[in-house]
Amino acid sequence: MSNPQPGEKVTTCGYSFTWTEDHLSKEELEPFRQQYDELGAAALERIQAIRQESQNKSTDVYEILRDNHENDPVLTRFWDEVHTVPSWVDWDQIARGQQFFYRYAVASVVGFALQGFMAENAVVPSVVEVLVRTGGYSSRMLLGRLLETVQWIIQVTHSAVSIKPDGEGHIATVRVRLLHATVRHRILQLCQQRPDYFDTETYGIPVNTLNSIHSICMFCCNRMWLQLPKFGPTPLGQRQIADYIAVFRYLGYLVGTPTGYFETVEKAKCTMESLMVHEVRPTETSRVMVDNFLACVTNLPSPFRVSSGFVAAGGRWINGDKLCDELALERPGVVYYLSFVGFCVFATALAWAQKLIPGFDAVMVNFFRKQLYNGIVQRKSRTRFDFKYVPQVGKKTGKVVDDSKGQASSRGLDIGLAEIIFLVFLGGCLFIVVRAAIWAHAGYRWLTACHL
Ligand code: HEM
């Protein structure tokens, strides 16, 4: 899409806004496609050389960095950068922003899956082309991969101490930065052997600066403007938004992404909206990713399993029909929409209960902080963000072949336990509203009769 004109109303992915002078033009963003985290790349090169030279062939890039940063000028520069806290970091604000992650945890996880994954990760061609070359996005590996990302989010939101230099979340983020450098290095290496392996002219350098700015947006901005508000009138204050963006501005700094775009809430929102206009382009590969995502979530164990109809209803509700048609998402029946509306009412009611009862909010925040940490960060198969999905010529994530497809209709209505609960919840709410209306009406008639 060419640049919209200031004052023009833009609608994309089910979200509308007015284009202003502050939005970023395509020409402004395009050079970032050929830029990348050069310091991270140089550090990785040194780490690999040290690994080659050393007798003790440790495979842990972070350990090599930690043990050698004092003797190698490139590693010293990298180490110093990630250990220097920028002057704009306010730890109290960071702690508040981290707490906010746990505040609307249920809605956020659903929002991340339906919007962040389907309408963001899967529809930016230059990101998708990297992801399908690192096979973790096959339906078999996807759940593990999503858990790894959630593990990182929990590590970096656990406490301020966790993302201060040498904290658990800080180390995890430095590992992720080096992991990105490894992915980029491997893809570019394959390009040298086979120039057609990855089209750097069209997509840019793998894991480039533009992609990285976009990813930071996905982590922080999307939750505020594209996810939570779609569930209902969620009580989001300006301060909460600013605090949450501040967390990811700092994390962006740690993973080698320019941070100026996240300096203020207004700038962050404009960046998110500009990238939606310039970068969202569903392709055939996007459809493969969405199919794999569907195969993954519809095969989860109960009570987490959801039907493809529920995912399609939620996806369409949040991202709009236009994008979902382009992604060839099914058009589900009304039951699935009602179930999703039940979920939205539940999420909104919970959010307001937390807003109005601070004690309840504290219980919820602590509950999710503790349970998610114990369940995900401390799980046996927790990751150290090693390089697992090594790109290879001729290997790309393909479409899942699901034999059960098409059998759903012959089995009758395919609906998960959670969906039934949301339907019952919606029915209960409607019953209460109708009863309240009848009582109010009866009371009004009684009062007017008394006055007569
Ligand atoms: C700048 C913000 C970003 C953050 C905070 C971030 C975060 C993460 C995290 C936590 C992981 C480890 C968990 C997992 O395997 O999913 C990861 C891995 C990965 N990321 Fe990113 N990411 C960012 C940007 C990007 C971009 C822009 C791309 C590609 C265009 C990308 C591609 C990958 C790939 C391919 C892996 C998996 C590598 C492997 O395990 O072999 N990331 N990222």
Nearest to residue 184, comparing CAs of 173, 170, 196, 198?
198
Is a pLDDT exceeding 80 seen at residue 301? yes
| C-alpha triplet 218, 221, 222: angle, nearest 5° | 60
Rounded Cα–Cα distance for residues 377 and 430 (Å) = 39
- Report whether residue 151 contacts ligand 1, using a CB cutoff of 6 Å: no
Rounded to whole angstroms, the maximal C-alpha distance in the chain is 99
The CA–CA distances, whole Å, from 420 to 147, 342, 346 equal 25, 9, 13
Per-residue model confidence as pLDDT tens digits over 43-98 = 999 999 999 888 766 779 999 999 999 999 999 999 999 999 999 999 999 999 99
Amino acid at 336: Y
Q: pLDDT by residue (tens digit) across 124-157?
A: 999 999 998 987 677 778 888 889 999 999 999 9
* pTM as predicted: 0.92
Beta bridge partners of 182: none
Q: What is the mean pLDDT of residues 156-183?
A: 97
DSSP code string of 383-429: ------S---TT--------TTTTTHHHH-----HHHHHHHHHHHHH
* pLDDT for residue 235: 82
Q: Looking at residue 407, what is its pLDDT?
A: 40
Q: Is 255 in the pocket of ligand 1 (CB under 6 A)?
A: yes
Return the pLDDT at 406: 39
Judge if the beta carbon of residue 148 lies within 6 A of ligand 1.
yes
Which of 126, 152, 180 maximizes ligand 1 atoms within 8 Å of its Cβ, making it the mutation to test the pocket?
Answer: 180
Tens-digit pLDDT profile for residues 247-284: 999 999 999 999 999 999 999 999 999 999 999 999 99
What pLDDT digit, counting tens, does each position of 389-443 carry? 788 887 776 665 554 443 444 456 788 888 999 999 999 999 999 999 999 999 9
For residue 149 and ligand 1, the question of a CB distance below 6 A is answered with yes
Q: Is the pLDDT of residue 363 over 80?
A: yes
Closest residue CA from atom 35 of ligand 1: 131
φ/ψ (deg, to 5) at 18: -105, 130
AA identity, residue 216: I
Q: How far is the CA of 180 from the centre of ligand 1 (A)?
A: 6
d(CA 250, CA 175): 15
Residue-wise pLDDT for 319-356, tens only, equals 999 999 999 999 999 999 999 999 999 999 999 999 99
Alpha carbon nearest to ligand 1 atom 28, residue: 207
Domain locations in the chain as residue ranges = 9-34+85-377
Answer yes or no: is the C-beta of 145 below 6 A from any ligand 1 atom. Answer: yes
Which atom number of ligand 1 is nearest to the Cα of residue 211? 27
Burial of 242 (0-12, 13-18, 19+ CB in 10 A): middle
Q: Which of 29, 210, 215 to mutate to test the pocket of ligand 1 (most atoms within 8 A of CB)?
A: 215
Q: Is the CB of 387 under 6 A from ligand 1?
A: yes
Distance from Cα 232 to the centre of ligand 1, integer Å: 30
Ligand 1 lined by 388 (C-beta under 6 Å)? yes
Confidence at residue 405, expressed as pLDDT on a 0 to 100 scale? 45
Mean pLDDT value of segment 364-384: 92
Q: pLDDT value at position 398? A: 65
